[in-house]
Amino acid sequence: METIKIIQIVSVLISLIAPTFFYVNIREGIKNSNFETKLKLKFNRLLFIGVSFWVLAVFLLTLNNFFSYNEGESFPKFLLGLLVPVSAVLILFSNKNLRTILNNISFRYLALGQTWRVLGAIFFLVAISGIGPKEFIGSGIGDITTGAIAILTVWSLSKGYGWSKISMFGLVAFGVVDLLIVLFILLTKYPIWSSAIPSTASAGSFPMMLIIGIAAPMALLLHVFMLRKLILEKKPKLISN
């Protein structure tokens, strides 16, 4: 199988697995909250519609080259796919019901939501094949490490080990830094500011945009949710119901 085909298949898988984990996390929070049954059903419908719209919008816009690089542009449009959904969710933090839902997502689920990051090994192929800059090798290492820490954290939480909290802080710190490094590479090697070859011009095109517009923002939000919960709770509940 050609390298590009492998990259496309894995990218599509990531863009479907990541929202599934994100959906399961929020649904877990809704289920554990003390809302009335009708309100829970309403929130579940809104969640399904919201996540589905997010994924379909990015897919359709990507396939229609909305985010693609065009010579002469002054702004990397792929940033819209990352910043718009993250900003929208963060703005919703002002909603009391959302805060209640986030408070009731278990740490184990939040860690489980990052385990798919091991599939970030796809960045090795992107770098080695010459589709993207060699710096993406570091991104591959970062994603695999983040996924491994997530798996370790899920295990430690299930066993109720005392060092679980340290593992969770490590997962958030390492995972966020990894995402920021990827963003740094995307921007510094983008044709608007760099003449490097290979560049990150393909960031806004299929299949890379699916990761940038779907998987990356959802991973970042789950990190934010976990950090928020760690700060708010003096002693985390180690085992999910």
pLDDT at 51: 98
pLDDT at 238: 46
Give domain limits for the chain: 3-232
pLDDT in tens, 193-202: 999 899 999 9
pLDDT at 233: 81
pLDDT at 174: 97
Query: Which regions in the chain score pLDDT beneath 50?
Result: 236, 238-241
Written as six digits, the tokens of 76 are: 């990397």
pLDDT in tens, 29-75: 999 999 999 999 999 999 999 999 999 999 999 999 999 999 989 99
pLDDT at 234: 65
pLDDT at 241: 36
DSSP the chain: --HHHHHHHHHHHHHHHHHHHHHHHHHHHHHHS---HHHHHHHHHHHHHHHHHHHHHHHHHHHTTSS---TT-SS-THHHHHHHHHHHHHHGGG-HHHHHHHHTS-HHHHHHTTGGGGGGGHHHHHHHTTSS-TTHHHHHHHHHHHHHHHHHHHHHHHHT-TTHHHHHHHHHHHHHHHHHHHHHHHHHTSTTT---SS-SGGGGSTTHHHIIIIIHHHHHHHHHHHHHHHHH-SS---S--
Between CA 210 and CA 67 the distance in angstroms is 11
